[in-house]
Amino acid sequence: MFYLLYGEDFYKKNIHSPNIHNTNDKGTVKEPIKSHMFNLIFKVFTESSTKSDGLGNLCSNKEYNVVSCFDGISGAQLALKNAGIKVKNYYASEIDENAIYITQKHFPNTIQVGDIKEVDKSNFKGKIDILIGGSPCQGFSSAGKRLNFDDPRSMLFFEFERLLKTLKPKYFIFENVSMNKDIEEIISKRLGVENEKVNSSLLTAQNRVRNYWTNIDFDLPEDKGIVLKDILIHKENKMSALRGRFDDNAKKYIQQLELRKDEESNTITTTLKDNLIVTNKPIKKCNLHPSGKGMRGWVYDIKGKSPTMTTNKGEGSFIANDKFLRKLTPLECERLQGFPDNYTKGISNTQRYKVLAQSFTVSIISHIFKQLI
């Protein structure tokens, strides 16, 4: 059995050794040999299965070679770490200098390979086990103009498909926004798997519905019931940035907000040009910026969820906090996306909002990766 499973060298060293006499004069196995073989079997099977990472998580001994397209701030790499997946080589395709800075700060061994359009098989060593990516979504987004494949940003999907066919990884994940059904079907056909819609609200305080195309089988995670007030920094109550921002129409509605001092504020406001921090339970509709479009001006229950983060630099997005109105902070946005506090510290707040909005929701990707254990 050991010869077949582990090869000739292992067999000769541990089983068929000249220093080990397997039987006594009667042809039965000696007791010391029984003990030796039992210990050996125990060692083999415990070392080849799983180990604890010291935090109560089980992690596979296998090390994966990973390619991340449109890597951003390495939300995928953090998700792998959180899932207990060991990484041998992590190749990141990214061109945003701020995003690369954050990635290298947290994962200095990341191998940056540059623009996805210039990446090919020669950039990687060994067999690639996992390919992951979420191409820029503006061309597909139901909240945008829906230019679909006519948008240059959406065309980057085909770069992911090209690497999928070239590298032939064992596992892959492609993430993107909600889009027209016909576009979903095209992507499903080209990737060979059906999309699964998952709302980040199951594991975070953010309503963020995304499509996931993957050959990793997974069930939807259990809803943790996290709401916006759970991630707020209640001491963050600076008001100076809002002076002069609102017109008379806005002030009229702001004065109508019902605010309480017991940290159980039942309203939250925003101007939602690009949807950053409100939740999914409107109480009263008002328009803080009359020229706005879409969901701008809605008032929401703080016990609900934030909408999808976008790259609007934090503008037009406010929460009601005691007697203050303020923007959601970069740290709070990190929490919405499943990142540790201050993960993006070191770049401007404008860039922090941007790179966070462009990232995966780490908690969801980690949930999918855990199925590999």
Task: Delimit the domains of the chain by residue range.
Answer: 2-48, 58-226+362-372, 234-328
φ/ψ of 59, rounded to 5, equals -135, 140
- pLDDT of 303 > 70? The answer is no
Tell which wins on pLDDT, 180 or 269: 180
Q: What is the pLDDT of residue 252?
A: 45
Nearest 10 degrees: Cα torsion 246, 248, 252, 253: -40
Going by pLDDT thresholds of 50, 70 and 90, the confidence category of residue 363 is: very high
CB 228 within 8 A of CB 304: yes
- Domain topology for 58-226+362-372: Rossmann fold (3.40.50)
In terms of Cβ atoms closer than 10 Å to its own Cβ (0-12, 13-18, 19+), residue 279 is buried
pLDDT at 275 over 60: no
What's the chain's average pLDDT? 74
> What is the rounded CA–CA span in Å between residue 169 and residue 150?
28
Compute, in degrees rounded to 10, the torsion defined by CA atoms 252, 257, 260, 261.
Answer: -50
Query: Does residue 121 surpass a pLDDT of 60?
Result: yes
- Percentage of residues in the chain having pLDDT higher than 90: 49
Of the listed ranges 128-132, 146-150, 229-233, 245-249, the one predicted with least confidence: 245-249
Strand partners for 177: 210
| Residue scoring higher pLDDT (44 or 334) | 334
Task: Write out pLDDT tens, residues 7-26.
Answer: 555 445 555 544 444 555 55
> What is the token pair recorded at 288?
């803080």
Is the pTM above the cut of 0.95? no
